[in-house]
Each structure stands twice: as C-alpha cells, then as structure tokens.
C-alpha cells in the first residue's frame, strides 16, 4: 500500500498508519510465538495426559532450559497479538449497516481470552521453576497448564461468532470483509469447539494431546489468524483508498 504523498501529513492518515503498525507488530509477535511453540519440548509430541507424576516431573527436570525459554517467550509475546485483534475491532466498527454492538462484544471476548493464555503460561513456568518439587505437585501444575491452554475455548468461540455475524450482516455496497470471512470464522469456531473435552478426556483424539484437541484446534486457530492477517491488510487498504489516503 502506497500512502499518497499529499496525504502524508493528514491527521486521518495516522489512523491508517497505526492500524498497519498494529498489524505488522502482531505479525512479528506471531512469528516469535511460532518459534516458542516449536521450542517447547512438551509439544513435540504433545505430552500425554496419561504420563505418571514421575514421568512428568522428570520431563520438567530434563528439559528445564527449553521449557523456560519457551514460557518466557510466550509470556512476553503472547498478549502482543492483542493489537491485531484490536485492528479487527476497528474495522468491525466501520461496518456501515450496523450499530457496532458486535465490535464491543468482540473486544470484551478478546480481552478475557487473552488472560487465559497468560495464565496457562504461568502454570507451565511454575512447573519448571523448581526441578526438585514433589512429583505430584508438578503433575498438578502440568495438568492445570494443559487444561487452561487447550480447554477454555469459549472466548475464541464468542469472538468468531461476533465476527461471523458482523460479516453476514454487513450489507451494503462496501462490506469491510468479504463474506467468506464469515464462513471461515464459523468453520474455525466448530474446529475448536470439541477441544473443551480435553479437560475431561485422558486419551483419544479429544485428549489434550489428541488430533482434535491439539492439532486441529491449534492448527485452525493459527490458520485463521494468518488468513485474517491478509484479510485485515486488504480492509485497511480499502479504507485508505476510500478516505483518499492511498491509491
């Protein structure tokens, strides 16, 4: 996107620019998060809920460094995706045929959801903090970390529901997002929904290491976020053109 020379100094250009900054800083954060995700030994393969306390404790003892590295990174960069979702809120507020109620509910859900990610990170980090801790306590922390990471999908579901409804009701000549974004949101919603069972199942595809609760859930969320990056970029561009800021 090329900002027009004559629009460089206009106040309304700063709105476009900050959205772009939010977009790109979130992209960088997402990349760093991906590195942290790959670095956490507990994801390759995902730790089984059926490991005994001793096995879990020795896992934390044997991989302390990489666990700590990944958890510190998650801690720093996890919430840094928030600006990206805030750009989505800003774009939702631009939808002409709506009262903006969806946008505010979306924001509420994003904030609440972010607190969960932060919490699961704390549990994993605490489990790795004292290698000599009693095994049954390390098991507890590990359980809590996994359950909090995988199972409470409700906020993401609420976000995606709000976005899908907003897109579907964004009637008029200039929709902010294309209609298929609504379909994708709902698809992601249904892909992530079953992983709530990870708080209950200890084996099978619904357990926190299973094909549905781990791979499908996280894959769907990552895919959705990456796709939305491009969608939002396009929306910002269209906004800039409409406002005479870019060509």
Partner 1 sequence: MSATVLSASGGEPTDAVRADPASKRDLWIVFWIFPIFFSLFGVIFVLLARVIPPPRPDVTTDQKVQWFAAHATTIQIGFAAVCVVFGGAAIANGYVAYQMKRMSSGSTFAYAYMGSMAVGTLPGLLLVALCFLAATFRPREPRITALLYDLGMLSFNGSLGCFATGYLAFAIAILYDKNQIFPKWLAYVSIWQIVTEVIATQMWVSSAGPYSWNGSIAFWLAVIVFGFWLNCQGIFLKFATDRQPAGTRPVD
Burial of 229 (0-12, 13-18, 19+ CB in 10 A): middle
Least spacing, CB of residue 103 vs partner 1, in Å: 8
Distance CA 54, CA 140 (A): 12
**Position of tokens 């009693």?**
134
Q: Which is nearer to partner 1, 161 or 222 (CB)?
A: 161
- Among 1, 122, 147, 187, the residue binding partner 1 under the rule CB under 8 A is 147
**Facing residues of 3 across strands?**
246
235 binds partner 1 (CB under 8 A): no
63 Cβ neighbours under 8 A, 6+ residues apart = 41, 42
231 binds partner 1 (CB under 8 A): no
- Among 6, 9, 11, 99, the residue binding partner 1 under the rule CB under 8 A is 99
- Map the footprint of partner 1 across residues 9-48, applying CB under 8 A: none
- Among 1, 10, 35, 161, the residue binding partner 1 under the rule CB under 8 A is 161
DSSP 199: G
179 binds partner 1 (CB under 8 A): no
Distance CA 100, CA 12 (A): 20
- Among 39, 79, 111, 122, the residue binding partner 1 under the rule CB under 8 A is 111
């Amino acid at each position: 996107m090329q900002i027009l020379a004559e629009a460089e100094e206009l106040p309304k250009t700063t709105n476009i620019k900050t959205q772009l900054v939010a977009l790109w800083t979130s992209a960088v954060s997402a990349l760093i998060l991906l590195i942290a995700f790959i670095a956490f030994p507990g994801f390759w393969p995902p730790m089984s809920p059926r490991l005994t306390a001793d096995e879990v404790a020795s896992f934390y003892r044997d991989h302390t460094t990489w666990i700590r590295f990944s958890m510190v990174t998650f801690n720093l960069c996890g919430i840094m995706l928030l600006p990206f979702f805030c750009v989505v809120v800003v774009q939702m507020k631009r939808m002409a045929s709506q009262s903006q109620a969806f946008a505010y509910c979306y924001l509420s859900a994003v904030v609440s959801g972010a607190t969960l990610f932060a919490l699961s990170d704390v549990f994993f980090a605490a489990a790795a903090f004292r290698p000599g801790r009693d095994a049954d306590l390390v098991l507890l922390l590990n359980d809590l970390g996994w359950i909090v990471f995988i199972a409470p999908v409700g906020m993401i579901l609420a976000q995606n529901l709000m976005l899908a409804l907003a897109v579907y009701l964004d009637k008029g000549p200039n929709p902010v997002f294309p209609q298929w974004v609504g379909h994708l949101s709902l698809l992601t919603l249904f892909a992530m929904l079953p992983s709530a069972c990870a708080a209950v199942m200890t084996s099978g595809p619904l357990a926190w290491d299973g094909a549905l609760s781990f791979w499908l859930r996280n894959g769907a969320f990552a895919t959705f976020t990456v796709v939305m990056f491009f969608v939002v970029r396009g929306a910002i561009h269209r906004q800039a053109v409409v406002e005479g800021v870019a060509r």
